Amino acid sequence: MSKKSKKARRPNVPMYTGPIVPTQPQATKGGGGELQVTAAPARPTASRETIVADYTHVISDLKRIGLLAGGLFITLIVLSFFIK
């Protein structure tokens, strides 16, 4: 039986293509001989904002889960003495 070949894993994220460079306006000649300059539609640039996350609700949830898990664990230990 032959070995299975492993495929290389590819991440499920878009590849980085580099910074967005604005395009230069294009010059075209109009029907009357005058030169018309049309600008390409501008792409919205992403502003570099610092996101301040508030995780106080997560910490309280983790404490509650820890207390519940500890209580259930102790309950299992106490019940194991009655099973014997």
Task: List per-residue pLDDT tens for the chain, 84 residues long.
Answer: 667 777 777 767 766 666 776 666 665 655 666 666 666 555 556 666 777 778 889 999 999 999 999 999 999 999 999 987
- Is position 82 within any domain? yes
Interstrand relation of 26-29 and 35-38 (parallel, antiparallel or unpaired):
antiparallel
- Is position 66 within any domain? yes
Residues of the domain holding 82: 59-84
Q: Is the dihedral of CA 6, 7, 13, 18 positive or negative?
A: positive
Alpha helix positions (H), 11-55: none
- Is position 14 within any domain? no
- Is position 68 within any domain? yes
- Is position 65 within any domain? yes
